[in-house]
Structure 1
Amino acid sequence: MSPRPARPLVALFTAGYLASYLLPTVVGRIGSGLGLDPAEAGVVGSGLLLSSATAGFTLAGRVERVGARRAARVGLLLAAAGYALAALGSDVPLVVLGTVVGGFGSGTATTVAASGIAALRDPHRASTAGLLSVSVVAGALYLTLPHLGGGHRLPLAAIAVVAALAWPATRSLPAVGAADRGRAPATGRGAAPLPYRRSGLVLAVAIVGWSMAQNALWGVSSRIGQEQAGLDEVTVGAVFAVALGSGLLGILGAGLLGSRLGRAVPIGVGTVFIAGCIAVSASADGLGGFAGGEILWNTGYPVVLSYLIGLAASLDPRGRWAVLVGSASSLGVACGPLSGSVLVETVGFAGMGLVLCAVLLLLAVPLTAVALHTGGRPLVLGAVRRRGGAAAAFVAAGAGAPSGTVPRLGAPEQPVTAIAVPVADPARAAYGPAGPRPSGG
């Protein structure tokens, strides 16, 4: 993967994802700064993330037509303006309006990033770099914000500043149609059919619940640390920073591991691991249990998320499934804070942890099944077609072919991609090079 096209996408990814990474601080400070109870503050956070999901569903499959550069700039402008308005506002309606506008901008930036990452040669590596970047930024903010004062203004202003700083990265993004010259249009009569419809739909539905479970805990983690574990805001912020730092190690490990184990094992085993961490963190009554649960959870969460993003990107090189699955994830994220608050009020922190643990254990099954089903078939004898089958493979391997040009037995089979060839002369396309075709044949 060339680093040049990935850098602006990583910047957009960071600007788009930062709001969800700072969700505990944003929700908690909106509640304390505006005098809202936890459920009402959770509704504001859910509105922000729901707006982000709406942007993804609206732009799915349309980034190519609108142009990545234009869509990214509109998204960053809305994010910077919306979060700045929310940061400056002191009335609840104005803050809600600003967060909704900013959330739509974040979702737009994330959609452009997801579409571009899906078209790269190694989407898993690019998504890992994006998660690494947003974790570094969020970790730094968790360390500094508690020392700069309270209220809702600072975290929202920080998100707006990061969106503004990502603006220069849009210069290297393609304009309308620049990335797809010679390819069939994304919409209309020449649109390529959406591949892996059943698997993509299962993945999208499952990831709604998966993301909701993650952010149900994340949205109330600050309350768990302060109300149940008895910690102050500075200590909780330090725990979050260390947890995000451990997430960096997890992301680096995922990048080094790559596809050696495929996607099914990291997704399935990782989801089970996350389920246990959520139960531990939600039942913590002291610094040890709270810090241990949060750190282990934040180590495993970005690893599994990077493989889920890579899995969605692999389903369609045009990025349509990546955008749709990412928007479904944002929908689950949007429901997370409200779901967590409702569960806490109903069954308490520990009961919420057990419920979320059970949900994740159930969702591990369809997620693993999709990864297994779409992971490619093994290349066995006779799978090399159109050039003589297995015999040609052995002849090519023994005829001085350069290393790496002949697939090994057992290697995953490469997909065959249809290439649309534009025709300059419609009459020539209708009749062919040999003249008009005979009728009735």
Structure 2
Amino acid sequence: MSARSRAAWPLVALFAAGYLAAYLLPTVVGRLSSGLGLSSTQAGLIGSALLLSSAAAGFTLASRVERYGERRLARLGLLLAFAGYGGGALTTYVPLVVAGAAVGGFGSGTATAVAAAGMAARPDPHRATTLGLLTVSATAGTLYLTIPHLGGGHALPFAAIALVAAAVWPVTGRLPEAGPARVTAAGDAPVSPLPRLRSGAVLAVGMLCWSLAQNALWGVSGRIGLNQAGLSEVTVGAVFAVALGAGLLGVSGAGALGLRLGRTAPIGVGTVVIAGCVVLSSSARDLPSFAGGVMLWNVFYPVVLSYLLGLAAALDPRGRWAVLVGSASSLGVACGPLTGSLLSEQLGFVGMGTVLAALLLVVAGPLGVVARGVSGRGPVVGTVHQDEPRVALAS
């Protein structure tokens, strides 16, 4: 059994540790505002700095994971995450909190980059990605239910992310010390160009817009429930908790379905359904419509995300497109809350939802086209393809 095969669960754990900060962003931003006396805009900017730093790590490391080795980079990422978030949890001095969020974000992005590259080389990257999303959803859901009972302040969510990074550290010992080297018949080790450049670029841009739309709504969902639907904070929190549970069902369903329907229908049709959920959530004026929109949205969002990430992995078995597309997604996540706030202030919640739904409908077409053009798993590690340099991966 190869090192890649043995490393499945370590990659899943690493993926969950890297993605956790983005999943906990609403409570991180809320606690920064209430715990440090910051305005909503100031707290949101710190959250954006965290995610932008995470995206920067992905763009920086997209083609370097093999060079430096999965184990080394994974440990560096987890160390930065533990030090950054842990340091931010121990202080109330805002500049140090900002620095901790940025350092921790870079660590999260590094861990995610390693996990994405490793998952792309798996025989079934969609299954690995689904397991990763299932794990991070379950972890985030548990923390959403636990943190409110442990007290206030910004330290708790920061400390939780740091502790998860520390908990994942031991499993990195099962990752390879150095990535497999690409060799040719002549024995040299060339650096191959990115395959399927046009499809990858369309997917990256589409993923940025897709994630921006999702997180623009997520950033103001609490305000929609409180101000427009007239719900209490307790009720809104309960809706979010149930929605996370619904998301687990969605991820489980995606894992069970696999590629039986291909990727085109889940991505294209799923994005259209999400657009409808966005309209329903943004126009909610009572509990049934608000809860229905949020829960349906959380069912379909991780399903489509798993297929998008699996599609990115299928474009390049070395994982470079998986890392780049994931980083583009992080960039969209970072810009989402600010976009949602600006649109809701200018157009109201209903107008904002209409604009975001239209954006999703626009990107659904190109994303579906890319998915249709990539059949099956994509390039398989260790094989030779006509449209790529004739190289093989040394096992």
Q: TM-score, normalised by structure 1?
A: 0.82
Tell me which residue corresponds to 1:67.
69
Which amino acid is the alignment partner of residue 286 of structure 2? G
Paired position in structure 2 for 1:52? 54
Q: Indicate the SS of the match to 1:166.
A: helix
Q: What is the aligned partner in structure 2 of residue 210 from structure 1?
A: 210
What pairs with 1:30-429 in structure 2 (closer than 5 Å)? Answer: 30-176=32-178, 179-181=179-181, 183=183, 190-375=190-375, 418-420=390-392
* Aligned residues of 2:5 and 2:122 also touching (Cα < 8 A): no
**Ranges in structure 1 where 5+ consecutive residues have no aligned partner:** 378-413, 423-441
Distance 1:253 1:421 in 2: 33
2:66–2:181: 8 Å Cα contact kept in structure 1? no
Alpha-carbon deviation of 1:9? 0.5
Give the SS at the match of 1:334: helix
1:381 matched to which residue of 2?
Answer: none
Give the AA of the match of 2:373. H
Which residue pairs with 1:403 in the alignment?
A: none
Q: Which amino acid aligns with 1:356?
A: L
> How far does residue 69 in structure 1 lie from its aligned partner after superposition?
0.5
Query: Against the structure 1 CA distance between its residues 30 and 286, is the aligned structure 2 distance closer, same or farther, given a 3 Å change threshold?
Result: farther
Judging changes above 3 Å, is the alpha-carbon distance between structure 1 residues 120 and 336 closer, same or farther for their aligned structure 2 residues?
A: same
CA distance in structure 2 between the aligned counterparts of 1:156 and 1:225, rounded to whole angstroms:
26
Task: List gaps (5 residues or longer) in structure 2.
Answer: 378-383
Judge conservation of contact 1:14–1:133 (CA < 8 Å) in 2: yes
Partner of 1:384: none
Cα distance, 1:25 vs structure 2: 1.1
Aligned CA distance change for structure 1 residues 287 and 100 (closer, same or farther; 3 Å): same
Tell me, yes or no, if the aligned pair for 1:27 and 1:219 is still in contact at 8 Å. no
Secondary structure of the equivalent of 2:7? Answer: helix
Given that 2:87 and 2:100 are in contact with CA atoms closer than 8 Å, whether structure 1 keeps it comes out as yes
The CA deviation string for residues 23-68 of structure 1, in whole angstroms up to 9 with x for no partner, is 1111122122222222222211111110000000000110111111
Evaluate the alpha carbon distance shift between residue 39 and residue 53 of structure 1 in structure 2; reply closer, same or farther with a 3 A threshold: same
Match for 2:9 among 7, 23, 37? 7
8 A Cα contact 1:210 1:332, kept in partner: yes
Tell me the residue number matched to 1:393.
Answer: none
What is the RMSD computed on CA atoms of the aligned residues? Answer: 2.1
* Counterpart residue identity of residue 369, structure 1: V
How many Å apart are 1:182 and its aligned residue? 5.8
Q: Is the 8 A contact 2:84 2:102 kept in 1?
A: yes
Q: Which residue of 2 aligns with 1:28?
A: 30
Structure 1, residues 139-160: CA drift from partner, whole Å, max 9, x if none?
1111122222222221111111
Deviation by residue 1:381-423 (Cα, 9 ceiling, x = unmatched): xxxxxxxxxxxxxxxxxxxxxxxxxxxxxxxxx956733499x
From the CA coordinates, give the structure whose radius of gyration is larger: 1
Assess, with a 3 A threshold, how the Cα gap between structure 1 residues 189 and 129 changes in structure 2: closer, same or farther.
Answer: closer
Structure 1 vs Structure 2: percent identity of aligned residues? 67
Q: Specify the code of the residue in structure 2 equivalent to 1:140.
A: T
Q: Which residue of 1 aligns with 2:381?
A: none
Residue identity in the other structure for 1:331: L
Q: 1:353-381 CA distances to partner (integer Å, 9 max, x unpaired)?
A: 1111111011101100111122269xxxx
On the 8 A contact 2:17/2:108 being kept in 1, the answer is yes
Give the helix-richer structure, 1 or 2: 2
The alpha-carbon deviation at position 19 of structure 1 amounts to: 0.8
Q: Write the distance in 2 (CA, Å) between the matches of 1:183 and 1:232.
A: 61
Partner Cα distance (2:151, 2:282) in 1? 27
Determine the C-alpha separation between the residues in 1 that align with 2:98 and 2:15.
23
Cα distance in 1 between the residues matched to 2:205 and 2:10: 29
